[in-house]
Amino acid sequence: MAIIKKELRIYFNSPIAYIFLVALLGFTFWMFFRTFFVVGQIELRSFFDLLPWTFLLLIPAMTMRLWAEEKRGGTIETLLTSSTPIPVIVMAKFLASLLFLFIALAATLLLPIVISTLGNIDWGAVLIAYLGALFLGAGYISIGLVISAFTNNQIVAFILSVVACFTLYIIAQPIVTFSLPSWIIPIIDFASFGAHYDSITRGVVDTRDIIYFVTFIALMLYFNSYILISKR
């Protein structure tokens, strides 16, 4: 809890949190309302289609400092030699970032609330889609943590995180898979963030999608702990 509070305090005592919130709300709302009145349908599909691409830049910017800053400031030695187990420290940093993302997504609930005043909205499907966005964001955070543990340079951590998250999101897109053998496409679909996110945001909770995200995040946190233990 001390580490979680410290990380949240760093977020909200610096411009990071406010830039993140303004960028998330401003960009997604603007892009959504550009086409909303043209389409003339009470639905949020285009909003949830935008979120992965917004997360692609904002979440690596949020996670790039998590370990790189500790190493640059020399506080990593204190953490690694403390009595708190390293996996607990890793989990605390992950939960702090996830809690901040949850707060940011909660702020975007203003959009479906406004849309619901214009017509009927399927709140069940909307909340399921938000669950998918939270899982996707958690996956991005776990990748950012691992990459931040590799480098002292925040810019390098940001660029590598963007590339890794982008790759995992688009690998199942038709533009990538059209020339691949048919037998490998189901494997790529299973490994893709995008395929599982799209499945959840369609309003159906498939346990395979949940298991995929939970397993992937657990593996990333394990790798993060392993990296730090080896450095110690």
pLDDT tens track for 176-190: 767 777 777 778 878
State pLDDT tens for residues 46-97: 788 888 988 998 899 888 888 877 777 777 788 778 788 889 989 999 999 9
Q: How far apart, in whole angstroms, are the C-alpha atoms of residue 221 and residue 122?
A: 35
Sequence letter at residue 205 = V
Closest CA to 18 of 117, 107, 93, 79: 107
φ and ψ at residue 183, rounded to 5 degrees: -70, -20
User: Could you tell me the residue range of the domain that residue 139 belongs to?
Assistant: 2-231
Q: Which amino acid is at 110?
A: L
Query: Rounded to whole angstroms, how far apart are CA atoms 65 and 148?
Result: 7
pLDDT at 39 over 60: no
Q: Residue 5: CB partners within 8 Å, gap ≥ 6? A: none
Question: Which amino acid, residue 115?
Answer: I
Alpha-carbon torsion 147, 217, 197, 126, what sign? negative
Res. 139 pLDDT band, cuts 50 70 90: very high
In the block, tokens 């403390």 appear at 82
Which of 218, 213, 230 shows the shortest CA–CA distance to 90?
A: 218
Domain count across the chain: 1
